Structure 1
Amino acid sequence: MQAFTPDGPVCCRTLWISDVHLGSVHCKAEPLLDLLERIECQKLYLVGDIVDVWAMTKRVHWPESHTKVLRKIMEISRGHTEVVYIPGNHDASFREFCGADFGNIRIREHEIHETGLGKRMLVSHGDELDYAVRYSRLNRFIGDIAYELLMWVNRCINQLRESAGRPYWSLAKWVKVNVSQAEAAITAYQHAAVNMVRDMGLDGIICGHLHYPTVEQFDDVLYCNDGDWVENCTALIEDFSGELRLISGLDLRSPSLELVYPQAA
């Protein structure tokens, strides 16, 4: 297992980040920028919803930190890191450029990534699996309003916690874990993802979209969700032995790492 020192660089083979939602008031660009300043990787996947075009049609929220994130990504792409951008549903307007290159950044609809252990993983934003969570347009509209309210309450709670010297706590994550309907929707989504990649003859999937970071083995298929930079501030990394781990950007002085993909015996 690779050691991560409090002030040293985070060195890894591959990094996956998604659901940054630049341009949205909910984006937590500062911890992501801190991570990008420390990260050293051979390959970087931007797994969709990097820029929230949807949110900006209603209200543009673009502080300097959002510009710095984009500049840092461009800087990384000009170095020795291979960068692949897979647009999501909130930045779907960029999907028309799939197959093209933007400078040193390759834009693709999806990608097959082979880990250091030889596992072939589908990398996709994941919104194509929304069919597994059945809801009408009205329910989706109500859900969007409820999510905005939930995130507003989440910000208020954490402003109070910060003033009291308490760590960040995600109300949205608590709801997803403790509300039965939300839990059932996440489970249905995961099963749809597993069945899709199993039919494709692949070993697993790495996606975003749900804002629910987790890595779980479903028999012969590995399901990975790298999380988001709105609620959880997490990324997925592959170290040089081929292991996959979740890393938290909320406490970079003591990175929270979880071993999620054991080495082959």
Structure 2
Amino acid sequence: MSHIEPLRPLRYRTIWLSDLHLGSRGCQADLILEFLQKTASKQLYLVGDIIDFWAMKKGVYWPEKHNHIVQCLLEKARQGTEIIYIPGNHDDMMRNYIGTHFGQIAVRDEVIHTTLAGERLLVMHGDVFDQVVQHGRWLAFIGSNLYDLLLAINQRFNGLRRHFGLRYWSLAAFLKRHVKNAVNYIGRYEYAVAHAARRLEVDGIVCGHIHHAELRAIDGVTYCNCGDWVENCTALVEHHDGQLEVLHWLEMQQSFKNTDWYLKPATAQVN
């Protein structure tokens, strides 16, 4: 990791990240580390599936870069960023530690975040809204295995693309956008989340889980999904004026790839 003074990091009031899947081969560790090193925020929410214990049950995979990500998060917390870790279904064993701290990172089941604009957003991973996960854990685990196979195919495919100088392209994300059943599932999931927000009398919900970033109003409720760092490399942010935005890191990376700001590494320093 580089430890030089940061050159104009991208600063936000709040950042939400979900579905990093550290410990899995699908984790885009280089891009996660780059994002963490080149951004800063007062608050950082880790919205579940940060560590993929399901993947590690099949065989331990923990390269040095995954350690760097953990150390970068701990360093941000030491330097004043408020970091809250909300476990998901792939790291559900972390729910045994709800109410405790790892270093200066708090572990919570769910949190209400109030934006500068006054919106009350419930932050949770979102697996409770997925009927397959909620009522059929073994069925979900089988689905996870098939998803891992798809990601393995995707890695080989993108290896060929890199060989020919082409950008990363997610087969899994493409199928989600174009296969009818996947599109219908995402829509049902989003409306289930919005319905829960109305029932809980909050202005919106921030979640992850389905690896599909989104920010939109559904029946008067703000639906926010952070996305993931396996297929899409996205984050949800709150700007200093209270406005929310989904960041697509791969697109941002292309827009400033040849600038001095991008070419010079930044440290984990945040505030």
Same fold (TM over 0.5): yes
In the TM superposition, residue 142 of structure 1 has moved relative to its aligned partner by 4.5
Could you say which residue in structure 1 is the equivalent of 2:167? 167
Residues in 1 aligned to 2:95 and 2:138: alpha-carbon distance in whole angstroms:
26
Residues in 2 aligned to 1:248 and 1:100: alpha-carbon distance in whole angstroms:
32
Q: Which runs of 5+ in 1 are unaligned?
A: 1-6, 257-265
Residues in 2 aligned to 1:70 and 1:135: alpha-carbon distance in whole angstroms:
32
Q: Higher relative CO (CA 8 A, sep ≥ 6), structure 1 or 2?
A: 2
* Counterpart contact for 2:127–2:133, Cα < 8 Å: no
- SS of 2:253 mapped into structure 1: coil
Shift in CA distance, 181/136, structure 1 to aligned 2, threshold 3 Å: farther
Letter in 2 for 1:252: Q
Shift in CA distance, 43/199, structure 1 to aligned 2, threshold 3 Å: same
Shift in CA distance, 191/132, structure 1 to aligned 2, threshold 3 Å: farther
Could you say which residue in structure 1 is the equivalent of 2:104? 104
Residues in 2 aligned to 1:90 and 1:141: alpha-carbon distance in whole angstroms:
10
Residues in 1 aligned to 2:132 and 2:216: alpha-carbon distance in whole angstroms:
18
Letter in 1 for 2:26: H
Q: Give CA deviations for 1:107-147 in whole Å, capped at 9, x if unaligned.
A: 10000000110000010000011128898667535423321
In the TM superposition, residue 106 of structure 1 has moved relative to its aligned partner by 1.1
Structure 1 residues 7-156: aligned runs within 5 Å: 8-131=8-131, 139-156=139-156
Structure 1 position 254 matched with structure 2 position 255? yes
Letter in 1 for 2:236: L
Residues in 2 aligned to 1:133 and 1:59: alpha-carbon distance in whole angstroms:
22
In the TM superposition, residue 90 of structure 1 has moved relative to its aligned partner by 0.7
Q: Which runs of 5+ in 2 are unaligned?
A: 1-6, 258-271
Q: Give CA deviations for 1:146-192 in whole Å, capped at 9, x if unaligned.
A: 21221111111111111111111111111111111111111111111
Shift in CA distance, 78/191, structure 1 to aligned 2, threshold 3 Å: same
Residues in 1 aligned to 2:126 and 2:203: alpha-carbon distance in whole angstroms:
16
Shift >3 Å, 4+ stretches: 132-142
